[in-house]
Amino acid sequence: MTNDISHSEARLALDVVKQRQHEVLAEINVPSWYWPALAAGWAGLGVLADYGPGWASGLVTVLFGAAHATVGPRVLSGRHGSSRVSLRHDAVSHWIPAAIIGFLVVMVALTVGIALVLNADGARHPATLAGVVVAGLVLSAGPALMMQIRARAQRDN
């Protein structure tokens, strides 16, 4: 028994496969709670730096970093953006965690820079102000970064 497939049927099948690949790549993301939780932690650390004792600020900063390092390998992979699907490792680029960590390093530098400028200008609560400004950036630029990552993945595929 032979099943000959016409050129148009083969093309249609390949188009369906390509469409399904794009649907899967559209799932590349971090969990929906990640950016708001990160922003809240960022702002909270700024408030604690201005209003809390130095030891508490240092301790909470270390604990926040440790918590991020604990969830980071799963969260930052881009493979678990929703509970509907978990992407295979080879479906997601290995540079996604590096891109997100690079973004976070830039945000840390920006926080320190803004706080130093505000402090030099005589602001009463420079860490709080810097933390809130950068938390806002994290909330807006983080999802935008993931959108760029998804677009690149679809372009490369």
- The single-letter code of the amino acid at 87 is L
Q: What's the rounded Cα separation, in Å, for the pair 2 and 101?
A: 53
* Separation between Cα atoms, residue 115 and residue 5, nearest integer Å: 66
**Domain total in the chain:** 1
The strand ranges marked E within the chain are none
Say if residues 42 and 129 touch (Cβ distance below 8 Å).
no
For residue 2, being part of any structural domain is answered with no
Choose the weakest-confidence range: 48-62, 69-83, 114-128.
69-83
In this structure, the number of other CB atoms found within 10 A of the CB of residue 57 comes to 18
Domain that holds residue 53: 7-156
What band does 92 get if pLDDT is binned at 50, 70 and 90?
Answer: low
Within-domain flag for 1: no
Flag whether 46 is in a domain: yes
Residue 61 belongs to some domain of the structure: yes
42 domain-assigned? yes
Of 135 and 151, more confident = 135
Assigned domain for 113 exists: yes
Task: pLDDT band for 82, please (50, 70, 90 cuts).
Answer: low
58 phi and psi, to 5 degrees?
-65, -45
103 closest CA partner among 64, 141, 53, 66: 141
Residue 126 lies in a domain: yes
Is pTM, for the whole model, over 0.95?
no
**Residues contacting 61, CB < 8 A, separation 6+:** 45
Domain annotation covers residue 117: yes
